[in-house]
Structure 1
Amino acid sequence: MFNKALKPFVLLIAMLFSGLALANGGEIAPQAGNEAEVVWQAIQQGAEGRTTSLNEHHPQLINSYDLRMLDWRNDWLSYAMFFALFGMIAVFIAFIAINGISKLEKGFSGKMVYRWSKTDVFLHWLAAIPCLLLCVTGLVLLSGKFIIEPLLGTGAFAGMANVSKLVHDYMAIPFMLGWIIISIKWAKNQIPARYDLDWFMVVGGYINFGPFKGKHPHAGFANAGEKLFFWAFVLFGLVISVSGVILLFPNLVEPSRTVSMIAVLAHGAAAIVLCAFSIVHIFMATVMSEGGVDCMISGYCDENWAIQHHDLWYDEIKANGTLKYMEK
C-alpha cells in the first residue's frame, strides 16, 4: 500500500535527478517503461546511490520491508494507544458509577502506620510523573496525525507535536532511571504467593454487590493486583527502555532501518500495554480505594486501611515489632 503511495513522489524525484548514479552490483537493463520506471524498479531491488555520509545504511534510499511495517503502526497501534488511555478511563468511570468506591468498613482510625520510606516515595514519583507525561505525549506522537489533527487542524497539531516530541525525549531519561531502580529495589515484595489467586477470585474485594460484597482477601505488603502491575512495569518498561534508547540515540546505536522500525513497533506496543495498566493502577490507588493515596504522599497509611487491604503484612509487622506509627 505504501509502495504505491510513494511511487509518484519517487518518480518525480527520478525525473528531477535523472542523472543520479545507481549501482546494484551490475547494470540495470533498460525496460519498456521510461527512465523513471527503471529507477523505481532499481530502488525496490535495493539499489544504492552515492552519499558523503559514512553510515552504512544511508546510500539506500528506501527500505520497502520497513514500509510494510508502517501499516501496523498507522492502522493498529495509533488507534490502540488512544483506546488504551481513554477507553480504560471510560470503563472505570462507568464502573465507579455502578459499583461505587471501596470504603473503609471501620472508617479512619486516625493512626498512621509506616509503609514506605521517603526514598521509596521519591522513586515512585520519579517514575510516575515521567510515565504520565510519556503517555500523554506518546498519544500525540503516535495517534495525533490520525485522531487529533483532523479535529484541531494542522497548525494546532504541529505545535502540540513539537512540544510533545521535546517533552517525550527529555522525560525518557528519568523514567528509565526510575524504572531500573524500582525494578531492583521493590522486587523482593512482589513475589507471587498462593493467596494471590484468592485475591483475583474476589476482584480484590472492590465489588460492592452480589456474592463479592464484603469480601476482603488476604494480602501481604503488595496485593495481587499491585504485583501484576509491578511485573508489567518491569517487563514492558524494559521493552520501552531498550527500544527507546535505539530511537533516542540512533547515531550511538546505529541500527539498521529494519531494526529501527521494529523498535518503533515494539516501543508503541509496549507503551500501549503499560499505559492501560497505569490507568488501572491510578484509579485503584486513588479513586477506588479510600485512604490509598496517603501511602505515596506521606509514606504512611491509616491503620484500618492496612488491616483491610494488607492484613498479612500488618500482622507480620505487628508480630515482629516493626510496626511504627507516625508521630503527632
Structure 2
Amino acid sequence: MTFKALQPLALLAALLFSGFALANGGEIAPQAGNPTEMVWQAAQQGVEGYTTSQSEFHPQLINSYDLQMLDWRNDWLSYGLFAALFGMIVVFIAFTVVNGPSKLSKGFSGKMVNRWSKADVAIHWLGAIPCMLLILSGLVLLSGKVLIEPALGTGAFAGMASAAKLIHDYMAIPFMIGWLLMSVKWAKNQIPAKYDLDWFMVVGGYINFGPFKGKHPHSGFANAGEKMWFWTLVLFGAVLSVTGTILLFPNLVEPSRALSLTVLLVHAGAAIVICAFAIVHIFMTTVLSEGAMECMVSGYCDENWAIQHHDLWYDEIKANGTLKYMEK
C-alpha cells in the first residue's frame, strides 16, 4: 500500500482524534501539513481522547510517565549493571596484577580445620549459583537492547533474550530460598564488633605494599568485609525477592502499570548493588585470599589460614574444645 493510499486513512484518524479531544475539553490548534504528523504531535503533547477502557491512563495514547521511567532504565540502569559486572572485574584484575594475592605468611600447614557444615556449604551454593545466573541473564534482559543487540544484531539477541528470560524466571525461586536460609542461619556470626574497625583500617591485611604490608588484623568467625557483604546481601536480597515476586507473579498483587515500572527500576537498582558486591566476594575467595576457596568446597580451611584471617574464632574453638580436624 502506497503512502498516498494511506493519506485518507490518516486524515480520518486525525479528524476522529480531534473530535475525541474536543469532546473531553482538549484543543488541537489547526496546523498545516501532514495529518499523520498532527495526530502524532497531539499524542506526544498528551491530548486526551475518549475510550470505554477503565485502565490507568486510558484516555492517553502516550503516557509520558512510562517514557520517563523507560529512559531511566535505558540511560542509567542498563549501563549501571554492565559497569557493575565488567567494571569490577577490570578493577580487580588490575589490582591483582599490581598487588598480587594475599599469601599465607607461614604457608599451608596441611591440617584442615572444620569451618562450615555440609548444610552450610549446600546453602551457600543454593544461593550462589542462581545468583550468578540471575546476574548474567539479568544483564541480557536489562542491558541487551542497548548494549548487546547493536553489536550482535536483532536475530542473535532475540535468541539470547528468550533463553535469559527462562533462566531468570526459573532461578529466581532457588535464589530466594538460598538467600532466606543464609540470612536466618548465618546472622548470628555477622554481628559487627569493635575490632572490625581495625580490619578496615588495614584493608583486611590484603595489601602487599606500603604500611599495610604484613598486617593481619583480628577477626572472629567473619571478618568486617564478610559482614558488610552479608548485610548487603540480606538487605538488597530482600528488595530483589519482594520486587522479583511482584514481577514474576503479577496477579498476586495486581500492580498498576506505574507500580510495575517502579518495581522494575527498584529491582534493577538492587541487582546492580548485589552484582558489584558479588564480584568482590568472588575475587576475594578465588584469587586474593590464598586458601579461601577450600572453605566452600569441603567446609574445611587450612589451620594457618584460620589463624591468619580469623584468629579470634580459631582461639575460641580451640579453647572451648570444638576444634575439629579433617580426618585423613
So what's the TM-score if we normalise by structure 2? 0.88
Give the aligned partner of residue 147 of structure 2: 147
For 2:173 and 2:11, the matched residues in 1 are separated by 42
Distance 1:18 1:313, change over 3 A: farther
8 Å contact 1:111–1:326 — kept in the other structure? yes
Give the aligned partner of residue 3 of structure 1: none
**AA aligned opposite 1:103:** K
8 Å contact 2:17–2:49 — kept in the other structure? no
Give the aligned partner of residue 324 of structure 1: 324
1:1-328 superposed matches below 5 A = 27-29=24-26, 31-33=28-30, 37=38, 41=42, 44=46, 49-51=51-53, 56-57=55-56, 59=58, 62-328=62-328
Comparing 14-23 and 302-311, the one that deviates more: 14-23
Comparing 251-260 and 271-280, the one that deviates more: 251-260
For 1:250 and 1:19, the matched residues in 2 are separated by 35
**AA aligned opposite 1:245:** T
For 1:23 and 1:14, the matched residues in 2 are separated by 14
Gaps of 5+ in 2: 1-8
For 1:22 and 1:321, the matched residues in 2 are separated by 86
Distance 1:23 1:125, change over 3 A: farther
The alpha-carbon deviation at position 27 of structure 1 amounts to: 3.0
Which of 1 and 2 has greater Rg? 2
3-state SS in 1 of match to 2:294: helix
8 Å contact 1:28–1:42 — kept in the other structure? no
Aligned residues between the structures = 314
Cα-to-partner distance string for 1:219-265 (whole Å, 9 max, x where unaligned): 00000000000011011111111111121112222111111111111
**AA aligned opposite 1:49:** T
8 Å contact 1:14–1:39 — kept in the other structure? no
The alpha-carbon deviation at position 84 of structure 1 amounts to: 0.6
For 1:113 and 1:15, the matched residues in 2 are separated by 81
For 1:102 and 1:229, the matched residues in 2 are separated by 19
The alpha-carbon deviation at position 152 of structure 1 amounts to: 1.0
Cα-to-partner distance string for 1:248-305 (whole Å, 9 max, x where unaligned): 1122221111111111111111101110000000000111111100110111111111
The alpha-carbon deviation at position 165 of structure 1 amounts to: 0.8
8 Å contact 2:18–2:28 — kept in the other structure? no
Distance 1:108 1:72, change over 3 A: same
The sequence identity of aligned pairs, in percent, is 68
8 Å contact 1:285–1:292 — kept in the other structure? yes
The alpha-carbon deviation at position 183 of structure 1 amounts to: 0.9
Gaps of 5+ in 1: 1-11
The alpha-carbon deviation at position 197 of structure 1 amounts to: 0.7
For 2:19 and 2:110, the matched residues in 1 are separated by 78
Distance 1:289 1:42, change over 3 A: closer
Cα-to-partner distance string for 1:12-62 (whole Å, 9 max, x where unaligned): 9996697689989x63455334787579757825656335xxx84484654
The alpha-carbon deviation at position 80 of structure 1 amounts to: 1.1
Give the aligned partner of residue 8 of structure 1: none
3-state SS in 1 of match to 2:113: strand
Cα-to-partner distance string for 1:66-112 (whole Å, 9 max, x where unaligned): 32122211111111111111110011111111111011111111111
For 1:251 and 1:180, the matched residues in 2 are separated by 23
Distance 1:185 1:13, change over 3 A: farther
For 1:38 and 1:134, the matched residues in 2 are separated by 42
Q: CA RMSD in A?
A: 2.6
